[in-house]
Each structure stands twice: as C-alpha cells, then as structure tokens.
Structure 1
C-alpha cells in the first residue's frame, strides 16, 4: 500500500523512516534485549472476544487511554481530551451552525462521524437526535454525542482502529470507541477546575485582546461495596462555560466598525450523573448495570441582523439584533445484564436503553412578518431519538488438539428497536404573520426557523442480528480470526459482513498483523426522515431552505431515491515491536466505501422554472435531501511509539510519539434520477473537498510525562497539517495552515490526598490562519468576510480560541 501524499512531507518522512528502521531492526535487537518488568500490559476487550489480550497482543490496532491521561489537560470536555490523545481522531469546534455548535461530532481517520461505532462497556451507545445539516465536517451525519459522558465516570477508553462491522454491526466502518466505566467498591475523589482564555485575537481587519470562555467544572465520584463481591460507583459532574467570540470586525456601514457577530464556543451549563454497578449472584453468575443522565443548556449565535436589515423591526431592536439558537439536551441511558456460565458457555445477556431529546429555542430574535407584535423568544420544536438493544453473547474455549492452545468460539444474537420524532414549535416560530404577503420579509423566527406541523414525524424500525467469531492459534506463532454477521432491518432489508484477521509473532519482540473485512452502515432514522425549513447561509446570503426525506415527492422530482446501506471494504497491515520499556506499532490501512450517504447541494428555485414551480408553493427558495452514491477511498498509516524511563534521582519519564497520515479521495459521485431538464447537480466541489481536505492529512503528537515524589509535569506538542475550508468556487476557499500547538501542565501533591494543578493549553497562543478579506490569487475582489462573522476557519482541528490557562484542585480519599 502506498503512503498517501500530504501537503507537508517532513513529518511523514521522519516518522515513517523511523518506524521502518525500528521494525527492520527488530529481530536483531530481540536477540539481545530482555523484556523489562516495566512493560505495560493493558488488557483490552474491544476487537477481540478472547480473554486476557493486551493492546500489543491484539490482531488489530487498539489504543488505550486511561482516565488519568484524559485529565492531564486543561479541557474537561471529554471529546476534546480524547482527540488530544488519539492522533487519528479529530474533534472540530464549528460555530454559527445551529445545533452542531452544541452537539459536536468526532471523526476517526477522516471519515464521517457516524462511521465510528461508540460502545459503553461493550454495548451500543445511542446516537444524538441531531442530524448535521449545515456546512460542517460530517455534514449529513447523525452521530453519538461523546460529551454526554463525563471523564470522571470513566476508567479507560479503548479505540479500535479497524473495520469491525462483522463483530459489532452497523457504523463500525472507521473503527470502534469503547467507553469502559469506572468499577470501584471503595474510595473516591473530587476536583474543581477553573480555566479561561487569555489570548490576542488577530483577524483580517484588526487585533484585540480577549479574556473569555471562563469555565468551571466540579466533579466527584465515590465507590461503595455491595457485599463482599459487588460494587456501586457513583459519578457526578457540573460544568458552566461562558461563550467565546472570535468574529472579525464588521465592515458594513450600519455596524459602525464594531463586532456584531458572536463566532466561537456557545455558553454551556450542564450537569451529569452516572452509576455503574456489579454484584455476584452465586454459582458463577453476576448481575451488572449502569445508568446515566445529562441535562445540558447550550446557546450559540446565528448571523447578526443589523439595524438596516429588511428583517429587523426598529421598534424592537433599534440597533439590530443577534439571534441565539438555544438547545436543551436531555440524554438518558440505562442498562442491565447477567454474566455467567450456561451449559458450558460463558454467557452475557444484556438490555440497554438510550434516549436523546433536543428542545430548540430561538432567542433574542423576531419574526419580521409579525412586525412590532412579534415575540422575541420562540419555542422552535424538538427532536427525539431512542434505542433499545437486547443482546446475548456466548463464548467458549475448545481443545481441538492444537499445541498452541484452545480454539475460542463466540456467537451472539441482537435485537434492536429505534424510534425518531420531530415535534413542531409554536406557530410564530414558523408562520408568516400579517405582513407575510410582502415577500421581502422572511417568515419564521430569524436565525432558526421552528419545526412546522408538516415536519412532524414519529417513525420506528427494528433489526435482528446474528454473528459468529472464531479465533484459532494455529501455531505458537500464528493466530487467525474469522467473523461473520447477518443483519435484517425492517426498513431496507438484509446485509452480511465478514472479517478475517491474522497475526504472526516472529518472537516476543516482533509481530506482524493484518486484516481484511467488509462493513456497512445502515441509514439512520434521522437521515431517512428528517425534514425542516431553515435559514441557510449560501455565499453570504440567507436562503430559506427545505430539507426533505428522500422518499418525498419534492425530493423524488429533484433526483432522490430511497436510502440504502453504505458498504465498505477495509484492509490493514501492521507490525508490533517490543524492546524492554519501548514499544512501537505501525499500521497501514485502506478503506473503500461505496454508496456513502450525504446531504445534497442546495437546489435553488432559480435553477429552472420547473424547480421554482416545485418550491414556490412551499414558500422556500431552495431544497435539499439525503442520498446515496458517493464512493471514497481512504489510505493511511498510524504510528504509535512509547518509551518508559524510570530513574532513581530524576524521577520517572514516559515518552509517547504518535502520528496519523491520512488521505481521502472521492472516486464516484451520485447519479441523478431527476425528471427535470436540465438535471440539478447533487454533489459539487465544496462537498467533495470537505470530504477530501476537511480534516488534517497529517497529525503528529509528541508528549512527555514526568513524576518525582510530589511533583509531576506533562508537556505535549501536536502538529496539525493544513486543512481546507472550501467554498463553492475557488474564490471562496481558505485554509487553516499547518500549525503546532504546545500544552504544558505542572502538578504538586500538597498532601497524600490533596493535589493542585496549573497549566496552559496552547501555550504560544496559536491560531489557524484567519479568514482573509479576499482571495485575490484565484478570484480578485472576492470578499470572504463581508459581514465580519467568520474570523477563522471553523474546520480547524484544534479550534480557534487561542491560549487557555487553568488551575485544578483535586482531593482523593
């Protein structure tokens, strides 16, 4: 497999050459190097159903990140901390993108957020009710909201970087993130963290200092014994975060040279509780379960409406207004199960329920068609998704006469039920009022139009799955694994997937591993049935846009077809090196995806009289819908190296270098079945380049962790390759530039129980390149910041908030 081309070659050459040299030398080193007692043996359960496998013994690459490592950073946001620890994972911070500001998705290996499966204690986590419909990375996806899990509730996170649909089902195309909850029968701890951005903001039109984004996080956990063989671990977290603003100065006359937008993080107030428990029942059986609940209020901003805007009402807002999009997210999950031996099989039977409800409010706004009688605060409707999963897993070791050990056979059944609802908002949030006959006025609440009665849906589906997985140690050196899975969905039919993996250990120090698998991702209910009317910004203008299900009459006329499952083929080949306190893994991969589900372009009424005839009766200017048909090919290399150095006088050092080199190419675009003439373009330049260049093709992280008696410190440097935020034409393109971010933290134990931490994330106040005033190289005179909203590319993989200083007080007992 070729290493993908990247825009900055030096990190690739350095890391790849180092890895090849080390792997090539492994057999020679192994003859003279003894295994150190310091070697970490992290037992994992993700990607294998064989017991007692460490992360270095697996047949596919698995990263293990402990809760302690996640807490050695200023952020208390779980998804941000995980992205700092895993180079192949990216967590962007979009702004001015409605609900996506509050429910931000992750990407693994540059693929869509919903192509990564998320598990909690090995069971499927429910997705968010939100579907991303604006111009962000992951547009068109409905993914799991990782920030509904507090870091304090976790023991560790296992990230399987390999296709695993045959093992776990739909969505596991890029890989699997398994969140393993803390299991403690005693002890506890608490912490309070305060942080704030202290930064100098340099945008295209000026420079200013900002002290904002003040964040307070208080968390605590406690373990309780349930008899001699049980535990109950309770965790709680409260977070209050002020908004940030990195907008540029507004050049329009009515702005008077000021900053009229709010472009940055939303303000957030949330509280989360989790419980995890297990208890022996006798005869080798154990009952277990967990439950969690989060209530999050988040408020982001839409584009400003100045005093001279046609949709402003001067008697309400004499100086114009900045609409806010507020979301209340209530996320609940509960699970229970039994684990023990049944007729000679290790059995695990579980029932898991999850629900995410999003209530939308449009605040500090108005509906211009009501004039001076317009409300300023609107109930804009709700999205609700829930999921119930019944699973039964069985495994057993069979002695088949192999000298290397027994064959391990696993099989299981799963039944899943899902439902999805859209509820309408108050009439003023979407209606055209008494002034509605004047087409100059936009109907509905400015900034976020409420869901209408015509948008309401209440749908459900179910699916049944069966799988088998066999792992065979053919010799002392060679182990193979095969898995197959069958799934039957009530709404689109059946699918089958398979996986074959192998590992060859030349000796204890060096091994090769590889796999080939097929995968799939079922269209989500959100993608199949989401419908709304929203104000979408297109080339700086507000366009009233309808989003329609693929099966609707409007979408069918414009070229939509019923959605079907995405399919994939994954290939991987890698090596593992262990030399005393040093270990290194290098894994190359290729992921081919067919029929990827995407959100179409905006098809404007101006495209043709026929389109206008479809849209004008609905009171909208453009339409879009979900469709299959995009095929992509992703190639890359993951490299993870670690060296532990204990010393008697200088303390203990832990060095880690990790890198991901990734190249995504779009190979095929959707074919339209539209009856219109001419046929509308369904997927164009901006969407293609977002898939190909919207995440970094190079990410390299180097970290050193040090501890001596009561002192500790961590320093981390992360290099991000250039990311393109594409426009509909080359004149609308701008990029982040290649950047390196340095984080530094110091720790001191005041007593055995009390510790203090101070640190700075983004020590040198690094920003992505600001959005230029014009892109003169490709389109002279093009003004990319005509309204001052976009100060920086929100595609930036490390955000655009600048330097963040923090302090933490922690107590353990």
Structure 2
C-alpha cells in the first residue's frame, strides 16, 4: 500500500548503542561549552575591573530630561538606557572613545567620552528619523522610506529575529511574518535537509530570495513527498546564519517585472551586517521539555575597517541539534490487518516496542556556516563590494522501522550474532554543501548610479542509506549465476543526490532626472546547471536499497540553460504627495522562450503625510525549474509472469511521458493586484492594511501516480500495459489558481510604564480564497480513462493545508538592563484530505495559540544573556475528522469505522500528532534555550 514510500523511524540494538554513545559525546561537548563560557566570563570580569564609570544626563532641546534613551558604544547594540530622570551610568573600557545616544523621534548623537566621565547630552528632534530607510525592493529607480513606498514592505531587524528564540532563520520568520509558513515534516528523507516554506500559500519557488539585493541560488532538492511545497524547490534559507543578518526586507507583492522569475508571491532581501566595531561571541544551548532535541552552538560575528577606506564583517556559526522523537503507540489490530500478520506475533513485538520502533520528529543536525561581507572605496566615486558564504549541514534521520512481520528476515546481515531478530531500522544521512558569493562595483558620477556585479552560488546534496539491504531476487549475478543481493547485499548504500548551481551577471543603472522624475534600467544574464548524481549500483538495481532507492545510471545526467533579461523603470512624483511607478521587463530563456511582464504602482499621501493610500497592478511569470524539467526517478518492481515493470516519477521529455501525451513544461503566468492603506497618526503609532489578489495561470504541479484504470479497452491501459508501466507521475502545467487575502501590520511604541517603556506589535494574515479556477488540465488519454493528475489529496495540499489565518501579537518591555518579550502566535484552522482515507471525510487541524516568552539582561557593556521559553503552555497540534456528507456522518457514528480511518492516516498511530500527510506547527512542544553574548 503505502509502505514503499513511507519512512517510519525505529531503532535496532546496534543503532541504539550508537545513539547512547552519541548522547555521551553530546554531553561531553555541552560540558566543554559551559567551561568555555565560564572562561570567557572570567576574562570579561577582569576586563570590567579595568573599566571606568561614565555617567550623565540626556535632555531634549527644551532642557527636559529624556527617559528611555539608548546609550551604546558607537556601532554596537551593547549599552544601557536613561532612567525616568534622563540619567544614565555605564562602565566603559578605557580604550572606548565614543558613546552613541539614540531615541525614536530624535537625531542620533555620537559623542566623544570626556576625561572627566561626566556628560550632558542635548538631543534634537528630527521627524525624518522616525522611519528607517531601507534598500527598497519595491522599485529599482530609487530608495524610499517604508511609509513612502507604493508597495507593502516589512522591515525586520535582527533583534526581532533573535527575540523569537528559534534556532534557524526560517523558523524565526515563522513567528514574525504572518503570511510566512514553514514546518518540520514528520517523515523526512531528503526533506530533512531543509524544510519547505512559503509566503501567501504560494509554495517555496514563488518567493525570490536576495542577499544584499542579489539573487540567491536555489536548493538542489525538489520536494516529491506529500508535503507543503510538493513538486517545487526553494532556497535553503535555514542555512543563512542569523548573526550575520542586519535586517530583512520582505516585499509582499509580485515583483517579476523588477527581478524576473520566482517573484510571483514576493521578494525577501537579506541585508548582511556591515559593522566594523562591536563584534561578539554568542554561545547558545537549548532543549525540549521532554529532554531531547539538545542544541549547542557558538557564533562569532566581528568586523574591522580597512585602511580607513573599507570594511569587512564576518560570521562563523557552528551548531549541533540532537534528535527529538515523537512517536505514537501503534495499534496492533491495524498492523495485523495491513501486513497480513498473525495478531499474536504483532502483539509480541509491540510489547517490546510499543511504538513499533518508530523515530519521527526532528532529526539530528550538525551545521557549519561561514559568511563574509565587505567593501572598499576605490576612489570618491567608486566602491568595490563583496560577500561570500559557505554552509555545510549533516542530517541524520530514519526510515520506517522494518518490523519482523513486515520484513521476516534480514538474511543475517543486520542482527548481531546470537541476538533475536526484531527487524531493522534503515537510516538516511544527508550531506549538504551550499555556497554563494557576489563581487561588484558601485559608482556615482554626474548623478548616474551604476551597479555592476557577478554572483555565483550552488547547492549539492548527497544521500547515504545505512542499516538496510537490497532484498530483491532479481538483478546482478556473479560469474556462476548466484544472486549478489539478499544475503550478499551490502548494508550501506551511496544513493547519489542532486546538485544545482548558477552564475548571474547584473548591470543596474539609475538616475534622478529631476526632483520629480527618476529612471532605472538594467539587464541580467543567468546560467543554471542541474545534475542528478548516480548512486551505487546496488542502491538502485532490482529495486535498490530497502527504504530509499538510489538514482539509477539512466536517470542520472546533467542539464543546463541560460536566460537574458532587461528592465526599464520610471518613477514620477506627479505632485509632492502623488507617486506613480512603472516597470517593464523582457526575458528570454534558452529552453522555453520569451516572457514580457510589467508593473504599475502608485501611492498618495495626505493629512500631513500621516496617511498613505497605495496600490499596484502587475503581471509576472515563473520559469519551470531545471529540477521540474529533468528529475526522473524510476522504481522497478517484479510482477510474476510479466517481468520487471516501471513506475515512479518521469520527466516531461521522457518516452513514458510522450506515450500518454504529457506536454513540455511552459512558464507560469500571474496577474497580481494589491491595494492598501498605511497610517501614522502619531510618532509612536502606525499601521498598514493591504489586500492582495494573485491569479496564476498554467501553474506547475507534480501530479499523483497514474496507473491503469481497470478497463482493458481504455487507451491509457493499453499504453501502460504494452510498455510494462504500472504507474507514473509527472510535472505539468495542470491548473489555474487564485489566492487572495489581507495583511495587517500595526505597532505602538514608547508607552512609558513605571521606569520602563512598552511596545506592542500586531501582524496578521487572513486568506480570503485559495482555490483552483476551472478544470484540471489533464492529458487527453488520462481524462478519457476517468483519471486526473490532481486528486483530492493534492488539491487539499495546495489549497487548504496551510492556516486559514495567522495572527502574531507581541509585547516588548524594556526596564533598565532587562528586556521582556511576550508573543502569542495564533495558527488558524487547516483542512486536509489524506491519501487512503474515505472520500467522504476530511481532517481538520484546530486553531491553536502558541505563547513564547523571552527575557534578556545586560550585565554590563560587555556581557548580556537571553533566556527563551517557546510554547510555554506545551500546545500541540490537534486534529479531528469532519464529514463531507451523509456517508461521512455514518462513518463518524461508527467507532470501529473511525478507528480504521484513523489508522489509515496515521500509519496505525505512528504519526498520531500530525497524521501521515497533514502538517501544522511544530509537534515538539515546549522548548527552552539560552544565549550568552560577549562583546569583543
């Protein structure tokens, strides 16, 4: 049934011993980390003893004391705040030269520290400082503040990301951006290397990721499981070290006209740190409330000036996260039924392993991340800039435990001599290497700004299957005709993998022709390479390794393509308050042809610039990825009397696809509409509300498996039978979709409570519609056989498996050296139609609220510490069956029938928290983490 594609986790005796050894090593490393922390603390205390105390008072231009002013070392977040009388006191090292004073609504002041150590500071009001200027991802023509843009742009600081307490960049975004969703799938395989994510329910491949404004390479992996993002690939954003990030700009609007393919849902621009002072070492550790998932990590971020003409900032991040396991108690009756096993044998095994040896949850992950960002002024008009990163990840996860009533023997290969055979647990190890780099020149001469750059990047993944075997009776034989598998099978298999790389050249030129007119134009050339890497012969021959077949020789090859594009952008201020922006772009791809897209956006400000009305209309496109065009993974099975037959994923240029009339892939085309309002009634309060409507035509999907219809006279059955094909799936431009919704972002700052200040943030996303429009575009031969490439499970996966709404309400309170954050994230309901369940039912995940608490304390200008408790009330996903009609009602009124359906979608309760194919927020429960930051 589903056993050839499922990957349930359990452990043999040998593997358990390995895990115990690994836990001992982890404990040893954790102890070493703590000793290292104490060593640094003692060093820093000695530094503090050589410091002096500087104190003073901060006032406004009228001489009134200012409470809550941030007092920090120049270009560093380390420092203190003024009290209710505007006074401050801070120990500083003797080598420190300057202090920086900043406060919302006032111009930042940098002041040299006097010898006396006594300071009186006057700060001037500056309304222009109320909005942080960002590198605008909304227009290529000019830079504008957030309130001036004609498009919705979120500006998220690294402090906001760190305050979540999440371990990786993608998980931090989950709890800061309401339309951003990602989840760790309970069944992993290659998906364990990077989790799928999406903005506005559009999948990972429709959000363009930029690093300092330049395109980041895609991952080599394409998701083929029944998980969010199925049939797509995305950038491995979890690989970006948070300590290297200065801020994130999220453009929540289609931007193909500005940036080309992949920007249908929006653009995420990661701005890297460029500090030359204020480096730090951060030590992190964490654990779940169930005592697993232990994490240890150390990160260094530092910077320096280069001969007063340039800068360099670098980050090194090393971490290891242990396995977190969340299996369910397996139902014996369901097991006996599914496997045709004797109930007594099943019960005897489950008495030893009640969870059937399952290991499913969060895999063990080790990561090393290196990043550098820098620039140098070549002369007064020209700057050379660069950045580069290398990331290595090692992920250890597991497949479905092979119970003794599922796999009656391991042919003596996996069970230690003299021990009882209890089945075996195949492991899945993934090695990921990801790199990117950019070098470029910026010039500003005679009003013309020119940016010329070259970007390269790549992602390579290799997979290893261990504690498994090739069980098949067909395949290779030796010179005497003896089979090389079963009892002669290897137990470790190199299953191959995937590799993707690109090279990108950009030329961007802009100028303000007048105070009211700006223009920008440029071009991009990009070449892409994709490789399917062959596995060991034994990993795929005659069915391959039990649990995960490797890439076969005939399905392993290299492919490449290139594209050239150009754009033209105009921005016109028709009046002081009325802006109109227009962009057009032309692209030519070597493998599918041309695309032309455009965008018109506008905004109008009134009531003293306190209210902004904005809107945009645009067209967009997404080129089919090389992964979607070329991935082919055949699975071979022996049918008695009929020989070897083929099933699995076939690419669109394969003979099998041509037999059933599958056309070559074309680009997706989109039409985006966005209307919004932004308001800033006061200095401390602002909000935006934006409506979006995205229509995608010819959306590319990976369909479900197509097999014979059962009618021997049907053309489909004749084609499949005559070519020994038992079933296949493929990519196709199968559907048109529409997605619409509302985004809300609001903030209220500087609420004085006692001696501290309070800030509220509210962000929400509500999906109005996410649906298919029109019929599924099935090849004629499939439609005639009464089949479809998009069944109920796939439709639910695309349209209802993400939260209907998500709301994030956070409070941030600063009191002296303390900072407290309390965030509630509400995940709205989701609906799913699991494979195998009765067609008259669906499952619904209930609305849940997750509460996170963070506390940080600034010991002195050098040392600070943060404690986070995520999901403090241990809220877990909860689902229920829902009836679709009277037949469904009858099932729900029959406890025995309900149990059957429950076993079907949880693999007999192995995945009772999440169901086998349904996903929601994390299933790990409460998590605790601590971080110690030491200024260097």
| 8 Å Cα contact 2:147/2:612 also seen in 1 | no
- State the shift of 1:619 in Å: 7.8
Given that residues 559 and 673 in structure 1 are in contact (C-alpha distance below 8 angstroms), is that contact kept between their aligned partners in structure 2?
yes
Give the whole-Å Cα distance in 2 for the aligned partners of 1:467 and 1:534: 44
Post-superposition CA distance 1:395-419 (Å, at most 9, x none): 00112xxxxx331100001000001
Would the aligned equivalents of 2:407 and 2:423 in 1 still touch at CA under 8 Å?
no
Partner of 1:388: 503
The answer to whether 1:803 aligns with 2:932 is no
User: Is the CA contact 1:771–1:790 (under 8 Å) kept in the aligned structure 2?
Assistant: no
Tell me whether 1:308 sits opposite 2:397 in the alignment: no
Tell me the equivalent position of 1:602.
705
Match of 2:326 among 229, 238, 246: 246
What does 1:90-239 correspond to in 2, within 5 Å?
90-198=181-289, 210-239=290-319
Q: Which whole-Å deviations, capped at 9, do the CAs of 1:506-528 have from their partners, x for residues lacking one?
A: 13111100000001000000000
In the alignment, the residues of structure 2 paired with residue 184 and residue 544 of structure 1 have an alpha-carbon distance, to the nearest angstrom, of 57
Q: For residues 351 and 38 of structure 1, what CA distance do their matches in structure 2 show?
A: 34
Q: Distance in 2 between matches of 1:611 and 1:312?
A: 38
SS of 2:130 mapped into structure 1: coil
Q: Where in structure 2 are the equivalents of 1:46-445 lying within 5 Å? A: 46-198=137-289, 210-251=290-331, 252=335, 253=346, 254-256=349-351, 258-259=354-355, 260-310=357-407, 312-313=409-410, 315=412, 316-317=414-415, 318-341=421-444, 344-369=447-472, 370-399=485-514, 405-432=515-542, 443-445=543-545
* Counterpart Cα distance in 1 of 2:291 and 2:635: 33
Q: Does the Cα contact within 8 Å between 1:76 and 1:217 map onto a contact in 2?
A: no
2-structure distance, mates of 1:769, 1:619:
43
Shift of 1:444: 0.9
Task: Tell whether the 8 Å contact from 2:298 to 2:319 is kept in structure 1 after alignment.
Answer: yes
Q: Separation in 2 of the partners of 1:532 and 1:332? A: 26
The correspondence for 1:701, drawn from 803, 808, 814, is 808
Question: Aligned pair in 2 of structure 1 residues 305, 787: CA closer, same or farther (>3 Å)?
Answer: farther
Aligned-partner Cα distance in 1 for 2:144–2:625: 33
Q: 1 CA distance for matches of 2:152 and 2:401?
A: 47
Query: 1:303, 1:789 within 8 Å by CA — same for their partners in 2?
Result: no
Structure 2 length normalisation: TM-score? 0.77
Q: How far apart, CA to CA, are the structure 1 residues paired with 2:295 and 2:634?
A: 34
CA distance in 2, matches of 1:534, 1:184: 52
- Report the Cα offset of residue 190 of structure 1: 1.3
Residue aligning to 1:668:
774
Matching residue of 1:519: 620
Residue 42 of structure 1 and its aligned partner are, at CA, apart by: 4.1
The separation in 1 between residues aligned to 2:441 and 2:127, in whole angstroms, is: 38
Contact 2:776 2:788 survives alignment (8 Å): no
State the alpha-carbon separation in 2 of the partners of residues 39 and 213 from structure 1: 42
Gaps spanning 5+ residues in structure 2: where?
1-124, 336-345, 416-420, 473-484, 638-644
Distance 1:806 1:671 in 2: 49
- When the two structures are aligned, how many residues end up with a matched partner? 748
Q: Shift of the alpha carbon at 1:99?
A: 1.2
Q: How far is 1:689 from its partner?
A: 1.4
Deviations along 1:293-340, one digit per CA (max 9) or x if unpaired, are 011001222222101224742523421122222110000111100000
- Check 1:714–1:267 CA distance in 2 against 1; reply closer, same or farther (3 A cut): same
Aligned to 1:458: 558
Aligned match of 1:5: none
Kept in 2: contact 1:272–1:292 (CA 8 A)? yes
Deviation at 1:733, TM superposition (A): 3.4
Change in CA separation of 1:535 and 1:517 when aligned onto 2, cut-off 3 Å: farther
SS in structure 1 of the partner of residue 292 of structure 2: strand
Greater Cα offset, 220-229 or 491-500: 220-229
* Residue deviations 1:172-227 (CA, integer Å, cap 9, x gap): 101000011111222201111111111xxxxxxxxxxx321111121111101112
* CA contact 1:166–1:518 (8 Å) conserved in 2: yes
User: Is 1:716 aligned to residue 823 of structure 2?
Assistant: yes
> Is 2:577 aligned against 1:480?
no
SS of 1:196's equivalent? Answer: strand
Contact 1:570–1:589 (8 Å) recurs in 2: yes
Per the TM alignment, residue 97 of structure 1 is displaced from its structure 2 partner at its CA by 3.8
What is the CA-CA distance between 1:232 and the residue it aligns to?
0.6
Summarize the Cα distance change of 1:197–1:773 in structure 2 as closer, same or farther, 3 Å threshold. Answer: farther
Residue 680 of structure 2: which of 578, 583, 597 is its match? Answer: 578
The 2-side partners of 1:664 and 1:693 are apart by 7
**Worse-superposed segment, 279-288 or 796-805:** 796-805
- The 3-state SS of whatever aligns with 1:212 is coil
C-alpha contact 1:749 1:755 (8 A) present in aligned 2: yes
- Does residue 691 in structure 1 map to residue 816 in structure 2? no
For 1:659, the equivalent position in structure 2 comes to 764
The match for 1:29 is none
2:653 to 530, 536, 551: 551
Name the residue aligned to 1:623. Answer: 728
- Asked if 1:530 is matched to 2:621, the reply is no
2:659 match: secondary structure: helix
CA distance in 1, matches of 2:758, 2:745: 17
Question: Shift of residue 73 of structure 1?
Answer: 2.2
Decide whether the 8 Å contact of 2:533 with 2:551 is kept in 1. Answer: yes
Pick closer, same or farther for the CA change 1:756–1:620 going to 2, 3 Å.
farther
Alignment check: 8 A CA contact 1:90 1:797 kept: no
Change (3 A) 1:230 1:525: same
Match status 1:755 vs 2:864: yes
Distance 1:655 1:547 in 2: 49
Distance in 1, Cα, partners of 2:381 & 2:840: 67
CA contact (8 A) 1:245 1:264 kept: yes
1:489-548 CA distance string (max 9 Å, x none): 000000000000010101311110000000100000000000113599xxxxxx984111
Whole-Å separation in 2 of the counterparts to 1:346 and 1:42: 18
- The answer for unaligned runs of 5 or more in structure 1 is 1-33, 199-209, 400-404, 433-442, 537-542
8 Å CA contact 2:843–2:882 kept in 1: the answer is no
Per-residue CA shift, 1:757-792, capped at 9, x if unaligned? Answer: 112100000011157899942964423334333122
* Residue from 860, 870, 873 that aligns with 1:764: 873
Q: What whole-Å deviation, never above 9, does each CA across 1:430-469 have from its counterpart, x for those lacking one? A: 112xxxxxxxxxx211221100001112110000000011
Q: Which residue of 2 aligns with 1:469?
A: 569
Task: Find 2:599's aligned residue among 489, 492, 499.
Answer: 499
Q: Evaluate the alpha carbon distance shift between residue 617 and residue 355 of structure 1 in structure 2; reply closer, same or farther with a 3 A threshold.
A: farther
- Alignment of 1:737 with 2:737, yes or no, is no
Map Cα deviations across residues 706-756 of structure 1 (whole Å, 9 max, x no partner): 112211110000111011232244467323210000000111112211111
Report which stretch shifted further, 683-692 or 584-593: 683-692
Higher relative contact order, structure no. (Cα contacts within 8 Å, ≥ 6 residues apart): 1
Q: Aligned pair in 2 of structure 1 residues 37, 116: CA closer, same or farther (>3 Å)?
A: closer
Quick one: structure 1 residues 289 and 535, their matched pair in 2 at CA, closer, same or farther if it must change by over 3 Å?
farther
Contact (CA 8 Å) 2:676, 2:691: kept in 1 or not?
Answer: yes
* Equivalent residue, structure 2, for 1:8: none
CA shift, 1:50, in A, is: 4.5
> Contact between 2:316 and 2:370, CA under 8 Å: does it hold in 1?
yes
